[in-house]
Structure 1
Amino acid sequence: MVNATDRDTATEYEQVRASIAARFTNPLDLPKEIFSDTSVYREELDRIFYGPYWHPVAHRAELGEVNSFKTTWLGEVPILVSRGADDRIRAFVNTCTHRGTLLEQRAVGVAEEFQCPYHRWLFNSGGEFCGAPGEREFRSDFDRKDYALPELRVSEIAGLIFVTRHPDTPLLEAFLGECADPVRDCLLDDGELTLLGYQKVVYKTNWKTYFDNDFYHAPLLHTGFRILGWQGGKGDVRITQPTGHFSVGYQSTPYVDNGYLADPSVVQFRGTDDRARVVALRPVTVLTKHVDTINIRFARPRGVDRTEVSYAFFGHVSDTDEYRAHRVRQASNLLGPSGFITIEDAAVFNRQQMTATDGTLARFVKGVDGCPEDATQNDEIGNTVGWANYRKVMGFDH
């Protein structure tokens, strides 16, 4: 049954959709309403976050032993990722199947069972209902199997765990396309990573503004890039059609001490492969391998003008204690939300959101006249494939 609120929301979006579509005639010119309209945001949740997309939610390194778990979110749906007693990784909607209470609120942990605080219903790490007080007096049609935790589809590549709520989402390799191998590269190919730690930040910006952080800006906005002498070039650019995932691989330039850093060792490269890589997976996940830092940015919308990003940093199982300590020190200092080469992002995201209701367009201009396959590292064309697909998915091209 469709209630009145659902009908009102659908009607509101249809009115907004028609207005935006009239101005969204070119994927190079974005009507700013898409960054500020609440009905657009609600529709994005349904069509994208709960639609036929795969969403990274964890890495195996975060689930280091049997019965370990992580809680996270898919859009506005709470998710519980669990490595069960049988060593299988599953993902569930993090809700008690009795009265809908949030089941587990710890960020990470180890638990053989999950107990709802409201009525003490119990579930095992495989999501099965195990029991509850007063079960003998439950309704006549009660069947334990009907009260298991709602399970999502799960797939994995190089230890990175993806989930989807939609039955028609394609196989993960097909969804990633040209960016499957770059994902493996970021995760050191074998995925045998170790968790170093987290940082979390909430940006005052729409989730699309956060994700649409192009490569054109990096040497211009970020003082750290200039100070450290890390300038971009052509790079190895890969774009997945039609979804718009994109990746840039490039040679990392060793820092030559020029007096700016009190301790240059913080950006020293100590590994064996100095190729750097950034992978942006739509709708809203970024993977980065730069110098000795391996970073996954798990992001989620917190409303039309808020985006939460959990920065997870990793090492490799083969690391010595000394190398691990170096990675820990370099990780957040380099690529965290206040890192040497990322600190200015928050201010720009905020300033973009401050203009999201001014009725003008956000426009792409640099290097966009050619083919996406010919993109260079500092062009904007890598972003435009995803925007063309967004326009289609959201119904703005009809």
Structure 2
Amino acid sequence: MKPNDSLAAALPRWPAAFNQVPKWAFEDADVFALEHERIFRGPVWHPVAHDAELPKPGDYKTVTVGRTPLLVIRGDDGVVRAFHNACTHRSTRLAMAFRGHSGDIECPYHRWVFDTRGQLRSCPGEAEFPPDFKRADYNLAQPRTGTYMGLLFVSLHPSPPPLMDWMGHMAGPVRDALGGNGRLTLLGYQKVRYQSNWKVYIDNDAFHAPLLHAAFRILRWQGGSGRQSRLPAGHMMILSEVAAQPSDGGLLRDPSVIGYQGGAAPRNKAAAQAAGSSLLAFWPLTAIANHLDIFNIRYANPVGLDQVEVHYAYFAHADDAADMVRHRLRQSSNMIGPSGFVSLEDATVFLRIQQALDTDPSTTFFLKGYREGADLTETKQNDEAPNALWWEHYRQMMGFAREEA
């Protein structure tokens, strides 16, 4: 038995009831350590960048998957690659900035220089290295990668499933969300660090939306006929119904900030007018969101047991007119930004959940839309019960045994 198998076996058992989650899953340091091996380094694909974020050769961004820092850079040959963000000599972190541009990659410690394709180009003192030293043996290490519609995925597992098999039925909706061709223009980023375990963030259900968020009440989210779909591999799709021309009920000085101007992807415009909001969530963390004319990719990663950082990357479609781009920017900052209609309310609740975990009862419960033995793969847009399927996938990935019923 591996040490981490012993750890999983030593933890309390998972509740027998399918709609219950143990609170220790959010606050146990050993669980958090095990997640990095079983999930973030497990047989999972993690979206890390879109082509539009790196338009020119030498453009790069840094990301972290679990505890592993990565460097994503467009090479001088136009290819976007991901590398472990560490010098192959003594494991010094290379790039520190979130984004930047560089003609090469230099390690500050011993001045090893790599080109934008990750190849070791120079290293001082090479004449005194062992006689069998070859630069090609010290090129930057690469995780496994795959691309779909301009979106780059990485896996830290030695043998992940094929990307398209892992994505499954998400592929079509992702293609539509990305405009059918993946041609996007980056508008900018916003970064939010939530003071909670990463699973508190991802457990944020659809039930709360019309109850917590005044903005969603304005959008008449309550009572919509949209649907949630839970897919194999833990993925989720939510198509939520809101009014195409929502009324603010006199609450906003300028109601146009929540107006829909038809900025959905061309392949998906009719669906967006009927639905108004879509969320495509890859297991475990990253999501593609389209709310009215807001289009973003939400890259999230835990930065500690009780903190999770989310980078919201906002996009326009490549053929958007200038007025639509301005509208997207304005709507994005007012709705989703750090001080927008939505994020502040979520951040407050996440913190309050984290502060109250060491309490009785020892589990949390999913109730709305739940019936024992019922199929939860297709449910109403405001149900919370489908979250239980995310947790079942998590339980299986982590190797936690259930209590006997």
Q: What is the TM-score of this pair, normalised by structure 1?
A: 0.92
Residue 386 (structure 1) aligned to one of 387, 390, 393: 390
Residue 247 (structure 1) aligned to one of 213, 225, 237: 237
2:279 aligned partner: 278
2:249 aligned partner: 258
- The reply to whether residue 44 of structure 1 matches residue 44 of structure 2 is no
Q: Secondary structure at the match of 2:386?
A: helix
Structure 1 residues 113-124: aligned runs within 5 Å: 113-124=104-115
Once the two structures are TM-superposed, the CA of residue 342 in structure 1 deviates from its matched residue by 3.5
Residue-by-residue CA offset, 1:4-39 (whole Å, 9 max, x unaligned) = xxx9xx37x735643421x43233211111100001
% identity of equivalent residues: 44
Closer/same/farther in 2, CA of residues 283 and 315 from structure 1, 3 Å limit = same
Q: Secondary structure at the match of 1:231?
A: coil
Once the two structures are TM-superposed, the CA of residue 158 in structure 1 deviates from its matched residue by 2.0
Residue 362 (structure 1) aligned to one of 340, 361, 364: 364
> For the Cα contact (< 8 Å) 1:56–1:160, is it kept in 2?
yes
For 1:132, give the aligned amino acid.
C
Q: What is the TM-score of this pair, normalised by structure 2?
A: 0.91
> For the Cα contact (< 8 Å) 1:252–1:290, is it kept in 2?
no
What is the CA–CA distance in structure 2 between the aligned matches of 1:226 and 1:251, rounded to whole Å?
12
Q: Bigger shift: 295-304 or 365-374?
A: 365-374
For 1:197, give the aligned amino acid.
G
Closer/same/farther in 2, CA of residues 382 and 183 from structure 1, 3 Å limit = farther
Residue 31 (structure 1) aligned to one of 22, 32, 48: 22
- The reply to whether residue 165 of structure 1 matches residue 167 of structure 2 is no
2:292 aligned partner: 291
2:65 aligned partner: 74
> For the Cα contact (< 8 Å) 1:203–1:349, is it kept in 2?
yes
Residue 216 (structure 2) aligned to one of 191, 211, 225: 225
Residue-by-residue CA offset, 1:308-363 (whole Å, 9 max, x unaligned) = 11111111110112211111111121122332233310011111111223351011
> For the Cα contact (< 8 Å) 1:178–1:238, is it kept in 2?
no
Closer/same/farther in 2, CA of residues 154 and 66 from structure 1, 3 Å limit = same
Q: Unaligned 5+ residue runs, structure 1? A: 1-6
> For the Cα contact (< 8 Å) 1:179–1:239, is it kept in 2?
no
Q: Secondary structure at the match of 2:210?
A: helix
Q: Bigger shift: 80-89 or 330-339?
A: 330-339
Q: Bigger shift: 231-240 or 258-267?
A: 231-240
2:266 aligned partner: none
Once the two structures are TM-superposed, the CA of residue 231 in structure 1 deviates from its matched residue by 2.9
> For the Cα contact (< 8 Å) 1:185–1:277, is it kept in 2?
no
For 1:377, give the aligned amino acid.
Q
Closer/same/farther in 2, CA of residues 27 and 231 from structure 1, 3 Å limit = same
Q: Secondary structure at the match of 1:332?
A: helix
> For the Cα contact (< 8 Å) 2:58–2:103, is it kept in 1?
yes
Report the count of equivalent residues.
387
Structure 1 residues 1-398: aligned runs within 5 Å: 10=3, 14=6, 17-21=9-13, 23-241=14-232, 243-253=233-243, 254-271=245-262, 273=269, 274=273, 275=275, 276-358=277-359, 360-369=362-371, 370-397=374-401
For 1:178, give the aligned amino acid.
H
For 1:323, give the aligned amino acid.
M
Residue-by-residue CA offset, 1:259-290 (whole Å, 9 max, x unaligned) = 21111221221125224211121111122101
> For the Cα contact (< 8 Å) 1:66–1:87, is it kept in 2?
yes
What is the CA–CA distance in structure 2 between the aligned matches of 1:330 and 1:315, rounded to whole Å?
12
What is the CA–CA distance in structure 2 between the aligned matches of 1:289 and 1:232, rounded to whole Å?
19
What is the CA–CA distance in structure 1 between the aligned matches of 2:396 and 2:221, rounded to whole Å?
37
What is the CA–CA distance in structure 2 between the aligned matches of 1:246 and 1:234, rounded to whole Å?
17
What is the CA–CA distance in structure 1 between the aligned matches of 2:350 and 2:135, rounded to whole Å?
48
> For the Cα contact (< 8 Å) 2:82–2:154, is it kept in 1?
yes
For 1:392, give the aligned amino acid.
Q
> For the Cα contact (< 8 Å) 1:278–1:286, is it kept in 2?
yes
RMSD in angstroms over aligned alpha carbons?
1.8
> For the Cα contact (< 8 Å) 1:71–1:107, is it kept in 2?
yes
Q: Unaligned 5+ residue runs, structure 2? A: 264-268
Once the two structures are TM-superposed, the CA of residue 257 in structure 1 deviates from its matched residue by 4.5
